[in-house]
Structure 1
Amino acid sequence: MATSQIKSDTNWGEAVSVINGNFASLNQAVEKAKAQTSIKLPLFSSVSDLNSKYPPAYEGQMALVGTTLPATLYKVQSNVWTSTGTSVGNPSAVLSEVVAYDSLGQVDEVTV
């Protein structure tokens, strides 16, 4: 059967519930991905530190300069780190998915 054809012998009552279930699952996955999406940027204490340890690699590359968050956002423009003049970065940490030390138990071996 070609993908451009619609089966005429389908029980649409059953198909509708399956399709709606798939849409609901997909919507949940998309919303979860939206909530978990974040950009991780390196933080440097100075512009000279940024230039020496993280040379520009591509147009639009980003990094933070400062000693605390929020810090100044720098972007590569014409192969040079340039301040955007914007302070970004949330100084809070999400710990809901971090495993507590007490729950780790004894570790005898690490597999890499």
Structure 2
Amino acid sequence: MELNTINKVGTWSEAADRINNNFSKTSTEIEKAKLNSSRNKGLFGTLAALKAAVPSPVVGDWAVVGNTIPGLVYKCITKGTWTSTGATGGGGSFELNDYLTSEEITDVASIL
């Protein structure tokens, strides 16, 4: 996600447009994250444990079955039914480069 730069010069309406656009982009990304996180039901040692914990999955729900990650991925394709995808996974990752800084942080309270 690329946000608009808020210029120090210009009119308030131009800045407001850029700020509002940034809020819209951020809200969209937050909603995507909420949707993805709510669909992951977690790690379960057995299929029976998954079915006991989430007996009525909705389409899009998924979980990992096994004692470790990566484990066998199960997904709800038909409402109320867990189906093995045949794939393994569950670790997940995300890119941190956009959040890196060369500035040394000496006071955590100053960035909160």
TM-score relative to the length of structure 1: 0.48
Q: Which has the larger radius of gyration?
A: 1
Question: Between Structure 1 and Structure 2, which shows a larger proportion of helix residues?
Answer: 2
TM-score relative to the length of structure 2: 0.48
